[in-house]
Structure 1
Amino acid sequence: MAPLLEACKQLFGSSDLFVVLGVDKNANESQLKKGYHKLSLKIHPDRVSDEEKEEATQKFQTLGRVYALLCDKDLRAVYIETGEVDEENAGPEDRNWEEYWRLLFKKIDIKDIKNFEDKYIGSDEELNDLKQAYIDGKGDMEHIINSVLCCTHDDEDRFREIIEKLIKKKEVPDFPGFSNEDKRKKMARKRKAEKEAQEAEKMKEDLGLGDGLDSLKAMIQSRSKSREEEMDSFLDNLAAKYGGSGKKKGSKKGK
């Protein structure tokens, strides 16, 4: 196995471990984990073609070494101070980095999603996410529904009531796109949600799918590539933030 800094330069174009992981040098443990998970998913050997697998494996192993070193306070301090890596302790050559990754990001199941939803819906975290989505989308409800975690069209009236209170308290601006939304736009959004729900149920019935997570993924994957990526994004964020206990936009009651 090549020296870590040399491997990073060859495989990622930079010998700066923080640049490789895509985080600031003052990143905390949670930020390091998210950065590692986000990048490792893109280069995981199981997600690339056979032609790319060898290089992806090298990148995956090197990224694991980078994360392991930066998570060690002593090794990280030495690296920041000297710019050098203690190769002897920078990740053993015979370590199973796939197993290491699986320990950090265990497989999410439908129970994890439900547990997260129960804690998230109505929480301060959901409120903060709702406020941010409202501001980012300048009051566009379509953007809000697509951005806030675990929500569906059924949450629209609840969200609208919360946002109106926030506007009244001057915690967020009163965007015309929210307060003066054309009723036809809201009805079109409702019809679209109802149509998708009907299509999902029919697809589930046609494919003979059950209620488990694999069945849910299969149904989404059968509908469109964007839906498949949406589900993967949801599960990936669950694993990245909670190491297996759950988060981001996804399925909810009745879906």
Structure 2
Amino acid sequence: MGLLDRCQELFKTASLYEVLGINKEATEAEIRRSYYKVSLKVHPDRAPEDPLATEKFQVLGKLYAVLSDKEQRTVYDEQGVVDEESDALSQDRCWEDYWRLLFPKITLQDILDFEKQYKGSDEERQDLLQLYTQHEGDMDAIMASTLCSSQEDEPRLGDIIRAAIESGEVSEFPAFAKESDKKKRARRKRADRERQEAEEMQKEMGLGQEDDSLAMMIKQRNKSREQNFNSFLSDLEAKYSKKSGKSQKARRGKK
């Protein structure tokens, strides 16, 4: 069975782009990021409840191999077919090794560097306004979803949103403009409790002993935000992943 047929069977669409949730005009970076996020959801080690996880993971690897190769992508875009005899699809490759080569594990320093660059950047502003619109001004949801944010950041983030409302860039939602003091106090109380739990766990875990200690600490102290944190890690891993300059021809013979 060919790649397109396998996509139809496993993902209910024969479109390589639809499987990744992107359009035909997607950039290489967008394809890479989407591949990471979708493949992470079906990674055999992270989706043991899915009996087809391994097959989906392998198909996604082949899909990315096609779309990341300029020649193969052009053929697919113009003719709607995939060269099943190409090296990328015909060789017996270990797709787990291929995936980890593209997306090596991030380190504690990567997280700290990202946070330093992200806060106050235009990227943070655009992400914040997108979340504001998505959650229709609900600051509980916005603060739970904003990367690298804490209670101390809320006044600054609120000012960014208010400025965007005044300029007409985004609409004013009642949930934001008329948020009750009771709700604000509850959010601060929750944040204080999480901070205390984080400090206690940091002492218990000896933060800094392992590269993954910060990730473990945040995930364990705040289960309600685990999905958002995983999304943060996926964005960061995609951002810091090694970009291979080798062509498909240069990789021939590797398994």
TM-score of the superposed pair, with normalisation by structure 2: 0.81
Percent of pairs with identical residues: 48
What is the CA deviation profile of residues 176-229 of structure 1, one whole-angstrom value per residue up to 9, with x for unaligned ones? 433332222212211111111112222333x44323442233334444643443
CA distances 1:41-88 after superposition (whole Å, capped 9, x unpaired): 122122233983xx4333222211111111222212222332322122
Change (3 A) 1:35 1:129: closer
2:68 aligns with one of 52, 71, 96: 71
Q: Are residue 125 (structure 1) and residue 123 (structure 2) matched? A: yes
Question: Within 5 Å, which residues of 2 pair with 1:99-118?
Answer: 99-118=97-116
Aligned residue pairs, count: 241
Is the contact between residue 205 and residue 213 of structure 2 (CA under 8 Å) also seen in structure 1?
Answer: no
Partner of 2:191: 193
Residue of structure 1 equivalent to 2:162: 164
Distance 1:188 1:19, change over 3 A: closer
> Corresponding residue for 2:247?
none
Inter-CA distance 119–203: structure 2 relative to 1 (3 Å threshold): closer
Cα distance change on mapping 1:114 and 1:78 into 2, 3 Å = same
Pairs within 5 Å for 1:205-216: 205=203, 207-211=204-208, 212-216=210-214
Structure 2 spans left out of the alignment, 5+ residues: 244-255
Q: Give the C-alpha shift of residue 125 in structure 1.
A: 1.2
3-state DSSP of counterpart to 1:47: coil
Query: What does the per-residue CA deviation read over 1:88-113, in whole Å, with 9 as the maximum and x for residues that have no partner?
Result: 21434222322221122111111111
Distance in 1 between residues matched to 2:219 and 2:126, nearest whole Å: 30
Shift of 1:31: 2.2
Q: Does 1:61 align with 2:71?
A: no
Q: Does 1:47 align with 2:46?
A: yes
Match of 2:249 in 1: none
Cα 1:77/1:152, change in 2 over 3 Å: same
Kept in 2: contact 1:21–1:39 (CA 8 A)? yes
1:94 aligned residue: 92
Query: Which letter maps to 2:61?
Result: G
Q: Please name the residue that 2:21 is paired with.
A: 22
**Deviation, structure 1 residue 242:** 4.2
Moved more, 141-150 or 130-139: 130-139
User: Closer, same or farther in 2 for the Cα pair 1:11/1:182, shift >3 Å?
Assistant: closer
Aligned residue type for 2:33: K
What SS does structure 1 have at the residue aligned with 2:17? helix
> C-alpha separation between the residues in 2 aligned to 1:173 and 1:192?
28
Is this contact kept in 2: 1:112–1:244, CA < 8 A?
no
The 3-state SS of whatever aligns with 1:106 is coil
- Mean alpha-carbon deviation: is it higher for 216-225 or for 136-145? 216-225
Which shows bigger deviation, 126-135 or 172-181?
172-181
Change (3 A) 1:197 1:83: same
Note the C-alpha offset of 1:28: 2.0
- Residue 249 of structure 1 is matched in structure 2 by none
Letter of the structure 2 residue corresponding to residue 217 of structure 1 = A
- Cα offset, 1:30, TM superposition: 1.9
